[in-house]
Chains A and B, each alone.
Chain A
């Protein structure tokens, strides 16, 4: 990051798969403006998409928006994705399913491209905190 001042972006997105890619594009534009390197930007985009997909797909019976907070600073990008799903026990570590299985790769991908992953499961909301070192 060329500047020492942290850049911050915070927004909510509708609990819909159609809104995941627009949210990722918003992240990319923000990181581009902040001077984030291209490879790290693509990996942050991948992790955000997988996190938001999970938040939407597991939001059975509720439509509360997903909240996204991003801080870009010299040396790191931090993203927090907060949903209102029942949540789930985070696998330690997430593993790949068999090659013929059609789902279940999202958490593996998130941990593969992020340097720090913390899942805080609450009674009313859950926050996934992701950190990418630059």
Chain B
């Protein structure tokens, strides 16, 4: 107990260290990230399986060019989105470093940059979804495209997978905004660095998921 209190005095953190000797909130977030890893792996695996299973059929009927995003969107947009999310990870870690050294002006600048980059990613994905929908990719297992009935789960698995990622990014932006205003309102709170670290961990995780999606879905 005394060791725990001593650690808190040194770090200036709130007393939330559990019996494992680590901050319970951070441990909980890492456990959440572990479960999210399994969740996104399930979505990506399902997408890859249905993509492979329907690719040959769609290619034979000449539909692949219309149903595979990289055939008519190219990878230009998704490369920009990948760069945006990567840049936001950098600004996030710079915001964390600034919060630990209590440079609050720098912290606000880098966190605002992260919020803007994250919002840009969400807007870019919304544009991509709209474009894909108008090109014929639908969130349905069966639909009519240019007078021909298409049976494919490609659209469903694609939109569910990337949609859930986009939802995570959106929630991350909301969390970032909440932390921004909380730190601005309670600048002297000793919990600030940990609050920033927690949202940072989550934010880097959504970047990590995009690294996997960008490679496995858009490049391969």
Chain A bound to chain B: no
Q: Which residues of B line the A interface, CB within 8 A?
A: none
